[in-house]
Amino acid sequence: MGRNRKKKGLPVHGWLNVDKPVDITSTQVVGILKRLFNAQKCGHGGTLDPLADGILPIAFGEATKTVQWAMDADKEYVFTIEWGRSTATLDAEGDVVATSDTRPSAEDIEAALEKFEGEIDQIPPKYSAIKVDGERAYDLARDGEEFEIPSRTVVVHEARLIEVPDEDHAVIHVRSGKGFYVRALARDLAGALGCDGHVSQLRRIRVGVMHEGAAVKLADLEAMESRDDLLKTLAPIEQVLDDVPDVEITAQDAADIRLGRDVMLMPHVVERWRTEKSPDPDDRLTLAMYGDEAVAMGEVRAGRFQPMRVFQMG
């Protein structure tokens, strides 16, 4: 006879806006927080490299069902390029693979950055988590394998020069869409300027609605003495879904949806949803709300709400 396995930890649900320090992986942060909160389930929404700091969205419990939307959100970065040396990893961690004496002027950097705004084709770094034939690219790169990563179209909403503290460095601010790599931009920018360079510092200052002004430092979380204080730092599941239109449902609707059933919506609810939804006719993504509680993600079709991701927070 099989035994019923109890899940380790307690049910914890919600999002945490963590300010990740340098020299620690995103996975290590998840492990620390899972232990601190004694949580059954925990994950992150968008990896930050160990040498990068800043916003790392952490999902607990049922919030993990919304991670894909958190990862699709716009992001903002402030990073420093060090000119004169290109590295294998495109950051300060890797071995130097090329050097040059060329140092671009502020005017040249600003002019070059303009060409990287809008929709651009970008080849992700070989030292990245992208899968190539089922293997992580960084594993293949570390093993010395030869491989190519195809380019992808990414969106850069804004790329501007903040300052040039000295001739060897430039500080840049970027606001981008999903799938964008700062290290790849630094590589391509250096190439466009006819010089070598790599990312020497990187900070992510925003992921969707999560920004650095409201972030909690990992050290401050570790210093909290009570679990209640930790739980107060969590935001509700729907926080990362602020751009998804919602529909109001009844208590009976909520009960039916939690059983996986479609529910019929009131005409005025459907009409309000139509005015708030994306102009894309194929985008029917909707959040079902019972009062202040998120019940499910789903789609509205023919006046009915069809659940896709149901939140079981009981």
Q: How far apart are CA 245 and CA 69, in angstroms?
A: 13
Going through 6-67 in order, the beta strands assigned E by DSSP cover 14-20, 42-44, 52-60
Q: How far is CA 246 from the centre of its chain?
A: 22
| Residues 6 or more apart in contact with residue 49 via CB below 8 angstroms | 91, 202
49 part of the active site: yes
The sign of the torsion formed by the CA atoms of 83, 109, 180, 25 equals positive
Alpha-carbon span 148 to 132, nearest angstrom: 8
| Bridge pairing between strands 197-207 and 52-60 | parallel
Contacts of 153 (CB under 8 A, 6+ apart): 119, 120, 121, 122
Residues belonging to the chain: 314
**Hey, what's the torsion of the CAs at 75, 76, 81, 87, to 10 degrees?**
-20
Residue from 304, 259, 270, 297 nearest 65 by CA: 297
Going by C-alpha positions, the residue among 46, 1, 11, 7 that lies closest to residue 26 is 46
DSSP state for residue 81 in the 8-state scheme: E
Question: Of these residues, 49, 188, 246, 253, which one is catalytic?
Answer: 49
Structure tokens at 262: 């479609």
Q: Can you tell me the distance from the alpha carbon of 22 to that of 40, in angstroms, rounded to the nearest whole number?
A: 26
Q: Which residues are catalytic?
A: 49
